[in-house]
Structure formats: C-alpha cells, structure tokens
Amino acid sequence: MTSQRFALPTLLVVLCACLVENLSVEENFASGLNVSLPEPRAYIPDAHLLDFVYHNHEEMTRFLRATSARYPNLTALYSIGKSVQGRDLWVMVVSASPYEHMLGKPDVKYVANIHGNEAVGRELMLHLIQYFVTSYTTDPYIKWLLDNTRIHILPSLNPDGFAVSKEGTCDGGQGRYNARGFDLNRNFPDYFKQNNKRGQPETDAVKEWISKIQFSLSGSLHGGALVASYPYDNTPNSMFQSYASSPSLTPDDDIFRHLSLTYASNHAKMSRGVACKTSSPSFENGITNGAAWYPLTGGMQDYNYIWYGCMEVTLEVSCCKYPPAHELRKYWDDNQLSLVKFLAEVHRGVQGFVTDMSGTPIEKASLKIKGRDVGFQTTRYGEFWRILLPGVYKLEVYADGYIPRDVDFMVVDQHPTLLNVTMQPAKGYHMYNLLKTTTTTTTPRTPPSSKDSSDIIMFPE
C-alpha cells in the first residue's frame, strides 16, 4: 500500500540545515568505502552499539549523524536552532517518510532534557531512535507506527545545562537552567498569566518549530519524580492557592487522563503511584493534573495545547534526576513500551480534511469539538486530527468566507474516524465578514503572538 506523499515546503526550510548535514554524509557513504569523510566525526559506526552510558553533546551528535547516515530511508536529522552557547538543538525524525509530510498522517514529537540536569529522558530518546530503526523490518507494530506517523525526537532542549550537570546528582538545580539562568519550562507564553520572562533561544526555537509543523501529540520528558502530569500546569487563580493546589482541568480532561494512563500503565512501575521519597507526594495510578501537583507559569505543555491544539503530557521518568549510568538500562526497560504506546495514541479519535466545494483544501480553518472550548486548526493541506475517546461528538468548523458547519460523528475504539468536511461559500460574504470582525473582539485573552493574531486558536464564540 503506497501513501500519497506531498513535499512540505515550510518544513524543508527548517530542514535545510539538516539536508546539507545529511547529504554530505550520505553522498560520501554512497560513493564508496574508501572515501574520506568531510568531517572528522562523520563516521558510520554500528548503531547497534549504543551503550547505556551518558552521551555528551559531541557524542550525541555523532550518534545522531551516524544513525541518519545508516538509516537514510527511516531518519532525517535537523536542527531547530542553537542553544545560548551555540549547541545545535537536534531533532531526529523517524518515519517511513522522514523528509516529507505524509498526507493525512499525523506528526508527533518527544522533547527531552528541557531541564539540563534531568538526564534520563535524553538517553531514553537515543535508545528510542535506535529501537525504532532496528525494529522496523522485524516488528510489524513498529513498522505500522513508522509507516503511519512521523515521529520527531528532540533529545536535548537544554544541552548547555546538561554540560554543567553532574552524574549521580539526584536533586538540586545545577544544570537545570539554560546558560543565561532561565528555566526553559517557565519561558513560554502563558494563557492564564502574563509571562514577562525574556524569550530564550531554546524556547524561541521550539515556538518556531511547532508553528511550522502541526504536531497532534507530544511528550516532554523530565526527571525528579515518577508521574505523567497533564495540562493545565497553570490556573487562573494560583496566587490564592499557594498552599493547597487544586486541579486546573482542560475541556479535554478525559483525553489527557487517558494519554497519561497509557504512559503510566505501560511503564514497569509508574502506575503503582509510589512516592519517590517519604517527603514527596504519591500519585494515584501514576498520573496527576499539573496544577494539582503545583501550578506553574510559562510551561511548555499548556503552550502546546492552547496555542496549537497539540496534546502534550509531561513525563517524569526518574526519581533521581541524573542517576548513575549503570542504571540506564533499567530505565530503558521500564519506559520502552510506554514510549511507543503513548505515541500510537495519536491514531485514536477523528481525522480528515476540510475542503471547499471544488475539493481544494482550506488552510487554517478553525475547528472545535462541541463542548470543548480549546480549538485547533487545519494544516495547509486542509488536514486535521483530534484524539478522542469512543463516543458521539459534533465537530464545529469555521473558515473565513464559508458558512460555518456542524458535523456529527462517532468515534470507536478500533480505528480513527475519517471525516471529510466540505464548506460552502457564505452568501453576502462582506456582511458576514463585518459581523465576524465584531464578534472577534470579544474573543481571546492572550494573543499567542504579537506578529500574527490569526494564530489565535480559541474558537470565536
């Protein structure tokens, strides 16, 4: 079965550094064994030999380059930018279509090591990459996943912090922050509170990245606890709640709980909910609402969800932030199944296309599941995806110049529901547009970006 594949120009802009990167290695690799490679570290070791040790930035870079050279049909390496100290923020795509978006098929991501001293996730990502590429031909499940999903893996969002962190240090803040002392998981625009923190190169790179590629599902890997923590991290009234945090629930709470439970219950022990220390909290079933644990402003997961409709869960994978390397194999064994099953959940719910009467895709149509007031948008190809549990729903579709539509649909457990929506042009579009402009002024609270207010994804009521 061949899928229709479309080039994605905006992605290629992002990918341009990586293409140069990759091609230089690939061309040499392909042109013969006796060739001398352009860069000293661009060699091709056996990717099976990824050890259970920590890899510094150079070693990680070497592994990623070697793997992308060895598996050119399954991987693409690109950088979304550089850290304060100039280290590349590498992303490895693992997919049967690593360089091109697959029409109608979702993109998902993992981001690890946003806190530089939380090191387990960083190594888990390298092992996950290796696991995917080496299992593709032997494991039908992995083959299916990579044939139907583009998986983007960012092993370290804070390589500068990692560089000054110390192996064996379970607690504390050394290496947590970027090189300018900013906590990157407090550095995103916030829906509930004004966030005055100056944007950092690392978080600016993420903002640019997720504005270019529409991700439907995401996991952010942390350490220092063992729990899957889901939005919201912040709450409208946290200043009155500093002593007893209460939950701050999204309209998609059922989905977020399900996604978090998927991770926790496939993990070797997370769902037992055992506290890391006697002084730390225990989490029933290994999951928690973020704000119920402790509210925070400027977190990445709320930003992903509110601004881009991407369902992101924070995965705390180790009680010890930077455990000794000899424990890494155990962490991999504990998390391997969770890491795979979590991503596969993107193939649950509803997906489809929004087009006009002639079948032309409508980009940036605003979509909302009725009763769930956080919206999402179509891609430039008119595609959309929304993770939903089995049930009966109504999709509300709104696009400039078209008559708004409501479409009823049903979601079952076994496979995603395919839903194609055709929009009819609005009569008297001019009047309609004036009316819409008036309506919009009552809408949003926090504009997502100063330069492009059309990115607002809160659905106009």
Question: Position of tokens 């939005």?
Answer: 231
- Identify the three-state secondary structure at position 288: strand
Q: Which is nearer to Zn ion, 188 or 393 (CB)?
A: 188
User: Which region, judged by CB under 5 A, interacts with Zn ion, from 221-229, 338-346, 399-407, 443-451?
Assistant: 221-229
Question: Position of tokens 């040499």?
Answer: 28
Here the tokens at position 143 are: 């083959």
Minimum separation from the CB atom of position 111 to Zn ion (A): 11
- Identify the three-state secondary structure at position 18: helix
- Is the sign of the CA dihedral 175, 179, 181, 186 positive or negative? negative
| Footprint of Zn ion on 271-290 (CB under 5 A) | none
How would you write 186-235 as a 3-class SS string? HCCCCCCCCCCCCCCHHHHHHHHHHHHCCEEEEEEEECCEEEEEECCCCC
**Does residue 62 belong to the site contacting Zn ion (CB under 5 A)?**
no
Laid out side by side, the sheet with 405-411 consists of 376-377, 366-369, 391-398, 405-411
Here the tokens at position 272 are: 């037992």
| Residue with the CB atom nearest Zn ion in the bound state | 222
Size of the site for Zn ion (CB under 5 A): 3
Provide DSSP, 388-453: --SEEEEEEEE-TTB--EEEEEEE-SSSPEEEEEEEPBPTTHHHHHHHHHHHHTTS-SS-S-SS-G
Active site residue 316: yes
Pairing verdict, β 350-356 and 417-423: parallel
CB 285 within 8 A of CB 183: no
Here the tokens at position 204 are: 């600016």
Q: Which is nearer to Zn ion, 222 or 258 (CB)?
A: 222
CB 109 within 8 A of CB 218: yes
User: Which region, judged by CB under 5 A, interacts with Zn ion, from 102-110, 208-216, 222-230, 394-402?
Assistant: 222-230
Q: Which is nearer to Zn ion, 115 or 152 (CB)?
A: 115
| Footprint of Zn ion on 92-131 (CB under 5 A) | 115, 118
Q: Which is nearer to Zn ion, 109 or 115 (CB)?
A: 115
Q: Which is nearer to Zn ion, 118 or 334 (CB)?
A: 118
Q: Which is nearer to Zn ion, 102 or 287 (CB)?
A: 287
Q: Which is nearer to Zn ion, 105 or 222 (CB)?
A: 222
Minimum separation from the CB atom of position 185 to Zn ion (A): 6
> How far, in Å, CA of 295 to CA of 242, rounded?
8
Q: Which is nearer to Zn ion, 315 or 328 (CB)?
A: 315
Q: Which is nearer to Zn ion, 119 or 213 (CB)?
A: 119
Minimum separation from the CB atom of position 115 to Zn ion (A): 4
> How far, in Å, CA of 91 to CA of 110, rounded?
9
Give the CA angle between residues 123, 125, 131 to the nearest 5°.
105
Minimum separation from the CB atom of position 193 to Zn ion (A): 19
Catalytic residue among 118, 202, 316, 345: 316
Here the tokens at position 153 are: 């893996």
Minimum separation from the CB atom of position 183 to Zn ion (A): 9
Minimum separation from the CB atom of position 121 to Zn ion (A): 9
Minimum separation from the CB atom of position 158 to Zn ion (A): 10
Helices (H), 71-197: 120-135, 140-148, 159-163
Minimum separation from the CB atom of position 421 to Zn ion (A): 39
> How far, in Å, CA of 19 to CA of 11, rounded?
11
DSSP E strand boundaries for 290-390:
311-318, 350-356, 366-369, 376-377, 383-386
Minimum separation from the CB atom of position 222 to Zn ion (A): 3
**Does residue 222 belong to the site contacting Zn ion (CB under 5 A)?**
yes
> How far, in Å, CA of 47 to CA of 66, rounded?
7
Question: Position of tokens 């022990």?
Answer: 269
Task: Tell me the catalytic residues.
Answer: 316
Which residues form the interface with Zn ion (CB under 5 A)?
115, 118, 222
